[in-house]
Chains A and B, each alone.
Chain A
Amino acid sequence: MSPAEWAIAVLAGFGAIFSLLAGVGIVRMPDLYLRISVTTKAATLGVGLLLICAALYFQEISISTKVLAILLFVLLTAPVGAHLIGRASYIMGVPLWKRSVTDDLKGKYEGHSQSLSSGQAEVAHDEAKRTNEKGQN
């Protein structure tokens, strides 16, 4: 194998390992928010390495530009999508892991999302429900 092919093999190996870590993490992690964190880091790095493999293999300007565009798009949109789905699931009331240490957003989104409903009583009800779910887990 030539040096370029060795480089392709090494990069593809690391990319596959990172993708496998993302797959194991999304199954094994105890909490939605930890799963989101796994998705947006490991998968982005793994797919980035695999795309760089394609750019190294073909070695043409047009294909390298295409690969760079995909890479830039994934790097830009993965954190944005993770933030959007995390915010929506927090508003929806997905429970945290029972051993989570801190919750900085506690009591801040409830008022915003139900600005038309009855206010304090339901906020307290929501918090009680959340702690109940945490206890059950």
Chain B
Amino acid sequence: MSLYDFLYYIILPVMCLSALLVFVRFVIGPSIADRVVALDLLIIIGTGIISIYSIITNQPTFLDIAMIFALIAFLGTTAMSYYIKKAHERKKLKAGHVNMYEEEEEL
């Protein structure tokens, strides 16, 4: 059993199984924060799959895409947490200041 067979028949299926498990959490996640965490982990596991695939196909160029994936994962998590917080603050503001808007309409 050569190294390529080992990577192709054992490592890649295990990585795909873990990606599938993370995707289950991405689908059933109760809150949106669960989905963001699952998406982050999905992209990180994709980085690992890309690095294994670059060994199998003997193409080191694929590692550039792994780097871009790592960047996108961090950017996505940061942006989603920012907007989650922003949406929550806006919701609280609307719930707490219904009277304020009414006064403005009267003025």
Contacts and interface: CB of A to CB of B under 8 A. Distances in A.
A32 to B, nearest CB: 6
Contact of B63 (A24, A70, A92, A118): A70
Nearest to B96: A117
Contacts of B37: 26, 32, 35-36, 39, 85
A27 B7 contact: no
Given A8-B3, A70-B70, A91-B85, A50 B19 contact: no
A131 interface: no
Given A20-B18, A84-B77, A88-B85, A12 B70 contact: no
B3 A9 contact: yes
B77 A113 contact: no
B interface, by DSSP: helix, strand, loop or mixed? helix
Contacts of A70: 47, 63, 66-67, 70
Nearest to B7: A12
Contact of A116 (B19, B21, B78, B96): B96
Given A16-B11, A23-B21, A117 B93 contact: yes
A107 to B, nearest CB: 16
Interface in A36-89: 36, 39, 43-44, 46-47, 50-51, 53-54, 57-58, 60, 63, 66-67, 69-70, 73-74, 77-78, 80-81, 84-85, 87-89
A interface, by DSSP: helix, strand, loop or mixed? helix
For chain B, give the interface size range.
35 or more
Interface in A1-40: 1, 5, 8-9, 12-13, 15-17, 19-20, 22-24, 26-27, 32, 35-36, 39
B77 A85 contact: yes
Interface residues of A, number: 57
